[in-house]
Amino acid sequence: MTRLPILAGLGLCLAGSAYAQPITPSEFVTAAPQGFGDRQNSWPWAMVWWEKQNKLFVGTARAKACVDHATVKLFRPRFAQYPPRDRDIVCAPDVHDLPLQAEIWSWSPDTGAWKRVFRSPNDLPIPGSPGKLVAPDVGFRGMQVFTEADGTEALYVSGVSARAFDEQSKARYLTDPELPPPRILRSTDGETFAPIPQEPGSIWHEIVPLDGFRGMAPYKGRLYVIASAGSLGHGHLLEIGDPARGSDIRAVQVTSRDLAVFELAAYNGFLYVGTGGQPLNGDPPFSVWKTDAVGEPPYTFTRVIPPGAFRSGRQAAAAAISMFVFNGRLYVGTGSDLFRINPDDSWDLVVGAPRSTPSGALEPLSGFGDGFGTDTNMHMWRMESHQGTLYVGTLDVGPAGRNIPGVGDILRQSMGFDLYATGDGWHFERVTRTGFSEIGGDGALNEGVRTMASTPYGLFVGAANSYFGLNLWRGTAAPPPVAAPIRLQSELIQEGVVLSWERPAGAVRYHVLKDTTSSRAREVKVAGPFGDDDVLAVVDRRGSGGKPSSYRVVAEDASGHMSYPSNVAPTPSQARPVDFSSLQSELAQWGSPATWLQLLQEARAAAAGADYPEAESRLRVLLASVEPPFWRVDDVRVLLRKLIQRVALVRLGLIPRDALFAGDARAPRAARR
C-alpha cells in the first residue's frame, strides 16, 4: 500500500453506497457570518425550512454562556463565577446589562442573503433594578411550521424568557413573578411575528414556574408544546387546539407521577415523549412514553423505554434530548446513548455502553460505546435526515477545558462537536469530530450541533459557539470520482486487528487510517489486502496498542483519485460479532419466514463442514430472498452481510472457524420492551 501524501487533502467525495451517502467536510461551506455579525448571537437555538416561503429560518439564543453562568451563580453559587473567567466569553459586569434581545433571521435562496426579520424588544422593566430593561425573549428554542384548522400555514416560534435567572423573581417566584410568562410567536408570511394571545388568568399564567418553551410537534391537528420549568428545558406538555388564538389549551399529564417532558415527536400514529429532569436534584432518569391522545385528558400513556434504559445512578441519562424519525424508526438521543424505537415498540441500543437487562446483554448495533467513544460528548444533541442519510450531531464539553495546562492539548485532538452519518443505523461515517476544523477557523470552539435543516439547497448545520458567536454551514454533495469501501468491520485477533469490507467498484489500492481520541488520523502499514472477490481484508499487526481506536479505509482508483473514508470501525467493538447462532436466534425472535431459517441452517451446515464457498453461496441466496413487507428486512440484510464477511475471513484463514459458532447463549438484540 502506498502512503497518503496529506490526510487532510483527500478528495473526500463519497461514492454511492447501499447504506449511506454523507456530505463530506470539503462539501460544506460557511453559510452566514459568525453570529450574524454579533458574537452575542451565541447559539442557533432553532432552525426550520419553510417550504411554502422557500426560506430558512434561524432563531438565536443571546449571550448563552453569560446567562448560564449567571443562572448557576444564582441558584448554586458554589459552582459558578460571574462574570466567567474565560477570556473568550464577553459578559457585561452587571447581569442586568446583558444584551438579550433574541433574533430571528431568514435566508432566501433567491438572493442568497440573510435578513433579520425579528428582534425582541428591550422593553420590560427588571424587578428590583430601576432603569434596567430586558427583552421578553432572550432566546428562541424551537420552530414549527403548522397547518391550522382553516388551512392557514403558519410558523410558530417558542421563546425563552429571562425569568429563570432574575434574582428578584426568585424570592417570590411561586406567588408573584413580576416578569411576564414566556411567549410563542406566530407568523404567516415570515416577515411579521406576533405573540399568540396569553391573557392573564389563562393556563400560561397558572403554570408555575414557567420560564420558556422548548420543542413543538403537530399531532392529530393539534400543536403540542413543551412548557419548560427551568433553563434546562424540561417541564409540562401542553396541547393547543387553536394556537392562532391561544385558546383550547390544556396541560397533558404523562403519568400519575407527572414526569417532566423534555422532547417529543409524532411517530407511527402516536405521540412519543421523552422525559428529563435536573440530575443534580436526583430526578428520575429519562424514559420514553407514547399516547394516542384519544378521549379527554389525562390521556393513557404507555411506557416504551424504561427509566435509564437499564442503566442506573450516574450512568443513567438524565433526559431524552433529541428525537427524529428516520427510515421507519424513531431515533432517541440522550446524553451519551442513541436508541431507536421500532414499529412494534421494541427498541435497540445504537450507540452506548453495553449493559445487562432482564432478557440478556444489550449491545450497541454500531459497536460504538458512550458518546461515539469520546468522553467529552455529553449530548446526542440534534438529528436530521438529508438525501437518505441520518446525521447525528453532538455537544462536546471539551472546549471548556481547553486552557487547563496539560489537559487542553490532549482534548484538542477531538475538541469540537462530532457529526456522524448513517444510512442504516448500524454503520456510521464520521463527517467531523473537531467541529469542522477541516473547513478552517478554530473549530474546537464549535461546541455543539444545536440545529440542522434539510433543504432543497443542501443540508444546513448550525453550531453553538459560546465564545465568538454561532456558526452556520451549508453542505451539498458532489458526484464522487471513486466509491468508498463499505461496511467496514474490525475484529481483534491474536495477530492484531483484522479489518474487512466490501470491495468498491474501480478501486485498485487502499489506505488504512487509524486514530484515537487523543491522536489525529494517520495511515498505518497493514498486511494484505487478502481476498479476491467481494470481501477484502487486511491485518494491522500492531493492533490497537491497548487503547480504544478507530479505523477507516480509503479507496484509490488507477488515476489516483481518493474516495471518502469508509464508515468508522471502533476497536474493540462494543458489540460481539455476528455468528450463525446469534443470527438464527434473531430471525426466530422476529418471526422470519421458515424458508429463511432453512437457508441459514444450510449455510451453517456447510460452514461446519468447512465448505466455506457453499456457506457463502447459501447466505447470498438468503440475502437475495429477503424482501418486504417484513419490517425487519433492513436489519436482516445488514446482519447477513456481516456474517458473509466473517465466513470469508474464516475461508482466508484470518479468524478461526469456531468464531462462526460462538454465540449460542446470546439473547436477541431487539427483544427489549
Give the model confidence (pLDDT) of 417-475 as tens digits: 999 999 999 999 999 999 999 888 778 899 999 999 999 999 999 999 999 999 999 99
- Over range 627-645, report the average pLDDT: 92
Same domain? For 510 and 543 the reply is yes
Number of CB atoms found within 10 A of residue 75's CB: 15
**Confidence at residue 10, expressed as pLDDT on a 0 to 100 scale:** 31
Give residue for cell 436526583: 282
Percent of the chain with pLDDT over 70: 93
Closest CA to 376 of 410, 347, 422: 410
CA 260 to chain CA mean position, Å:
21
**pLDDT of 622-632, one tens digit each?**
999 998 878 89
Give pLDDT, residue 451: 98
> Taking a C-beta distance cutoff of 8 angstroms, is the pair 53, 130 a contact?
no
Residue whose entry in the numeric block shows the C-alpha cell 421507519 = 328
Would you call 445 helix, strand, or coil by DSSP?
A: helix
Grid coordinates 426560506 are at which residue?
A: 55
Computed over every residue of the chain, the mean pLDDT equals 90
Whether residue 665 is predicted with pLDDT greater than 80 in this model: the reply is: no
Reference 16, options 376, 483, 398; nearest CA is 483
The pLDDT score that the predictor gives to residue 8 is: 33
Mean pLDDT for 65-81 is 86
Q: Give yes or no: residues 639 and 621 share one domain.
A: yes
Q: Is 135 part of any domain?
A: no
In this prediction, residue 359 has a pLDDT band, given cuts at 50, 70 and 90, of confident
Given phi > 0 = left and psi -120 to 50 = alpha, else beta, which region is 269?
left
Per-residue CA distances from 386 to 264, 411, 474, 536 (Å)? 20, 30, 12, 30
In the three-class reduction of DSSP (H, G, I as helix; E, B as strand; rest coil), residue 71 is classed as helix
Question: Is residue 550 domain-shared with residue 624, that is, in the same domain?
Answer: no
Residue 245 vs residue 12, higher pLDDT: 245
Same domain for 552 and 531?
Answer: yes
664 pLDDT higher than 80: no
Q: Which residues contact 602 (CB under 8 A, 6 or more apart)?
A: 618
Establish if 509 belongs to a structural domain. Answer: yes
Cα gap 492→498, rounded to integer Å: 6
b/e sequence 334-371, b meaning 16+ C-beta within 10 Å: bbbbbbbbbeebbbbbbbbbebeeeeeebbbbbbbbbb
Residue 516 domain flag: yes
Closest listed residue to residue 166, CA positions, set 181, 156, 151, 145: 181
Residue 553 lies in a domain: yes
Higher-confidence position of 204 and 121 = 121
Tens digits of residue pLDDT in 501-532: 999 999 999 999 999 988 889 999 999 999 97
Cα–Cα dist 239/293, whole Å: 10
Residues 593 and 556 placed together within one structural domain of the fold: no
Angle of the 594-608 helix axis to the 633-651 helix axis, nearest 10? 10
CB 349 within 8 A of CB 426: no
Between 176 and 426, the higher pLDDT residue:
426
- pLDDT tens-digit profile of 537-555? 999 998 866 789 999 999 9
Q: With CA atoms as reference, report the closest residue to 445 among 147, 47, 87.
A: 87
Number of domains composing the chain: 2
Q: Cβ–Cβ contacts within 10 Å for residue 663, how many?
A: 19
User: Is pLDDT at 615 greater than 80 in this prediction?
Assistant: yes
- Whether the predicted pLDDT of 3 surpasses 70: no
Is it the case that residue 345 has pLDDT exceeding 90? yes
Among 520, 554, 571, the domain boundary falls at 571
pLDDT the model gives residue 297: 85
Nearest to 513 by CA among 567, 563, 554, 560: 554
- Residue 308, domain member (yes or no): no
pLDDT for the residue numbered 255 = 78
Cell (9 digits) for 483: 466509491
**pLDDT tens digits, 325-334:** 999 999 999 9
As a whole number, mean pLDDT of residues 263-292 equals 92
What is the percent of the chain where pLDDT is above 90?
A: 76
- Please indicate, yes or no, whether residues 563 and 599 belong to a single structural domain of this protein: no
- Identify whether residues 552 and 589 lie together within a single domain: no
Among 549, 571, 593, the domain boundary falls at: 571
Residue 334 is assigned to a structural domain of this protein: no
pLDDT level of residue 13 (50, 70, 90 thresholds): very low
Q: Residue 248, SS3?
A: strand
DSSP H or E run through 75: helix 64-75
Give the domain CATH number at 530: 2.60.40.10
655 within domain boundaries: yes
pTM: 0.95
Look at residues 638, 130, 179, 664 and name the one whose alpha carbon lies nearest to residue 423.
Answer: 638
**DSSP letter, residue 255:** S
Distances (CA, A) of 242 to 192, 211, 215, 299, 507: 20, 22, 17, 19, 58
In a domain, 87, yes or no: no
C-alpha 403/C-alpha 459 separation (Å) is: 33
At 17, the pLDDT band (50, 70, 90 cuts) reads very low
Q: What is the predicted pLDDT for the residue at 296?
A: 87
Examine the pLDDT at 226 and tell me if it is beyond 90.
Answer: yes
Q: What is the mean pLDDT of residues 90-119?
A: 97
Q: Are residues 539 and 610 in the same domain?
A: no
Q: What is the pLDDT of residue 563?
A: 94
Residue 184 in grid coordinates:
410563542
Burial class of residue 28 (count of CB atoms within 10 Å of its CB; 0-12, 13-18, 19+): buried
**Which pLDDT band holds residue 403 (cuts at 50, 70, 90)?**
confident
Question: Of 544, 571, 598, which residue is a domain's last?
Answer: 571
Tell me the sheet residues that pair with 391.
Answer: 384, 421
The residue type at 63: A
> Do residues 527 and 483 touch, judged by C-beta distance below 8 A?
no
Per the structure, the complete domain to which residue 647 belongs is given by 580-661
Query: Is there a single domain that holds both residue 557 and residue 634?
Result: no
| CA 351 from centroid of its chain's CA atoms | 10
Residue-wise pLDDT tens digits, 571-614: 999 999 999 999 999 999 888 999 999 999 999 999 999 999 99
